[in-house]
Amino acid sequence: MTGRVWSRQDIEDRVNVLRERFDGEAFADAIAKFSEELGPEEQEDLREILLERSRDYAARNAALDERFDRGGWLKRTLDKMERRRPS
């Protein structure tokens, strides 16, 4: 842990930067390393931020899945793209 005090906004900004730079396991590793720089209260903020984002991500994916299942423009567009893909 460093002597720096991280505001919730600072933590959110760092998570955004890490999300842009890393995916999957690399993102998880970067978050774990970042967490080591934080104090207990800041780590709690980080946990809350990640939990909120995971809920938002899951909700967006569920809405997208539902829309795709119902059909419509999105399904037609993806079907067209699939048909145009070279074999």
pLDDT of res. 69: 72
- Reading the chain (87 residues) residue by residue, the pLDDT tens digits are 457 899 999 999 999 999 999 998 999 999 999 999 999 999 999 999 999 988 878 777 777 677 667 777 666 666 767 777 665
**CB–CB of 11/45 below 8 Å?**
yes
43-60 pLDDT, tens digit per residue, is 999 999 999 988 878 777
Distance CA 23, CA 84 (A): 28
Distance CA 40, CA 37 (A): 10
For residue 36, give the DSSP letter: T
User: pTM of the predicted model, to two decimals?
Assistant: 0.65
